[in-house]
């Protein structure tokens, strides 16, 4: 019975062009072990939050800033996350800004860079499999990933400060919307650059049109999954019953997994667009076994 239902669903999906594209996308994600890679990326992102909070706490303590300043700078990201996640991150900022944990800020910064770059390095390895490119060495990939982390943190701080200045200067709805668009533009640019330089350049044939679709899709998926997951957690979920005091951690890990998977989905779409263009041009396409 179940097998018959699966066959019927499969035939319905295959009878539509969009259905075939979605089926091919899912098959490729499965072939490249994207789900497993997303789990590793989410775990690395989760481990990086505590040292990041410690470093932010050190900044609050050193420069005698109010916690609201940090909240406003990271406001767009916190508002995009589920309520339980934003409350957890904000509380960690406050806790570490008022405790001796801020004294280990230099070490926490190094730990944050290392752990976060590990997640990005994992994504780059999956991208190389998707594009069938020659993999970089472990050291080159890690150094490039650390560079992306520096770029991301710096961009968030700069754009967050600009958004804060705009909101304070205008103090109206226009200023708030402008701050939101600045944040979205910054995130899109970071995703675009990551897709652009995550695969070895001497073999890349990608053009702008094969990078923008995946970057846009990633931003849309991030926004959609954050909103829908927030609604699910607040209205339908029973995480507290299942996980007790660990409910917030479970929510955070699952949300990070969804974000990581969205990044891989966008890259898979770009890879498929490039391969389709190569086939139309009569160029051979190659494949490489997944490292995962």
Please give the average per-residue pLDDT across 84-89, as a whole number. Answer: 63
Return the number of other C-beta atoms located less than 10 Å from residue 33's C-beta. Answer: 17
Please indicate, yes or no, if residue 191 is contained in any of the structural domains.
Answer: yes
Q: Would you say residue 175 lies in a domain?
A: yes
User: What whole-number distance in Å separates Cα of residue 142 and Cα of residue 39?
Assistant: 19
Share of the chain above pLDDT 70, in %: 64
- DSSP state, residue 81: S
Token pair 């470093």 is found at 55
pLDDT digits (tens, 9 = 90+) for 96-118: 555 555 556 667 778 888 998 99
Name the pTM for this structure.
0.80
More confident residue, 287 or 264: 264
CB of 93 within 8 A of CB of 56? yes
To the nearest whole percent, how much of the chain has pLDDT over 90? 22
Decide if 3 is inside a domain. Answer: no
- In this prediction, residue 8 carries a pLDDT of 45
Residue range of the domain that includes 50: 25-280
From the number of C-beta atoms within 10 Å of its C-beta (0-12, 13-18, 19+), residue 189 rates as middle
Which residue, among 22, 89, 80, 29, has the nearest Cα to 54 in the 3D structure? 89
pLDDT at 71 over 60: no
pLDDT in tens, 7-51: 544 554 455 556 677 788 888 888 888 999 999 999 998 888 777
DSSP code for 204: -
**7 falls within a domain:** no
Q: Return d(Cα 256, Cα 122) in angstroms, integer.
A: 14
Six-digit token string for 58? 């050190």
Average pLDDT, the chain: 75
Predicted pLDDT at 260: 95
Rounded Cα gap, residues 134 and 132, in angstroms: 7
Is 95 inside any structural domain?
Answer: yes
Q: Which two tokens stand for residue 85?
A: 């996640």
Distance (Å, rounded) from C-alpha 174 to C-alpha 170?
8
What Cα–Cα distance (Å) separates residue 207 from each residue in 107, 170, 201, 270? 40, 39, 12, 10
Phi, psi torsion values for 289, nearest 5 degrees: -60, 145
The Cα–Cα gap between 163 and 157 comes to 10
Distance (Å, whole) CA 184 – CA 218: 12
What whole-number distance in Å separates Cα of residue 256 and Cα of residue 80? 12
Are the CB atoms for 262 and 45 separated by under 8 Å? no
What total number of domains does the chain contain?
1
Q: Does 252 reside within a domain?
A: yes
Q: Indicate whether 241 belongs to any domain.
A: yes
In a domain, 78, yes or no: yes
Listed ranges 163-172, 174-183, 219-228, 280-289; the one with the highest mean pLDDT: 219-228
pLDDT digits (tens, 9 = 90+) for 225-274: 888 877 777 766 666 666 666 777 788 888 899 999 999 999 999 988 88
């Amino acid at each position: 019975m179940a097998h018959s239902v699966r066959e019927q669903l499969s035939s319905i999906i295959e009878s539509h062009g969009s259905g075939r594209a979605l089926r091919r996308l899912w098959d490729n994600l499965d072939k490249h072990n994207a789900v497993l890679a997303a789990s590793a990326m989410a775990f690395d992102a989760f481990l990086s939050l505590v040292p990041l909070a410690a470093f932010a706490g050190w900044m609050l303590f050193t420069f005698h800033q109010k916690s609201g300043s940090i909240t406003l700078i990271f406001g767009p990201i916190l508002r995009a996350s589920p309520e339980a996640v934003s409350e957890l991150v904000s509380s960690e900022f406050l806790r570490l800004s008022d405790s001796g944990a801020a004294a280990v800020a230099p070490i926490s910064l190094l730990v944050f860079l290392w752990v976060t770059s590990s997640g990005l390095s994992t994504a780059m390895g999956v991208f190389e499999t998707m594009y069938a490119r020659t993999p970089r060495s472990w050291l080159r990939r890690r150094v490039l990933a650390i560079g992306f982390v520096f770029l991301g943190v710096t961009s968030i701080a700069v754009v967050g400060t600009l958004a804060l200045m705009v909101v304070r200067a205008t103090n109206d709805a226009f200023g708030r919307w402008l701050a939101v668009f600045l944040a979205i533009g910054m995130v899109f640019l970071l995703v675009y650059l990551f897709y652009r330089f995550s695969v070895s350049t001497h073999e890349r044939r990608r053009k702008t049109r094969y990078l923008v679709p995946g970057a846009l899709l990633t931003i849309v998926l991030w926004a959609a999954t954050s909103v829908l997951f927030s609604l699910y957690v607040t209205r339908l979920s029973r995480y507290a019953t299942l996980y007790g005091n660990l409910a917030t951690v479970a929510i955070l890990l699952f949300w990070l997994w969804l974000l990581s998977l969205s990044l891989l989905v966008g890259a898979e779409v770009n890879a498929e667009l490039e391969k389709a263009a190569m086939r139309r041009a009569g160029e051979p396409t190659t494949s490489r076994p997944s490292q995962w």
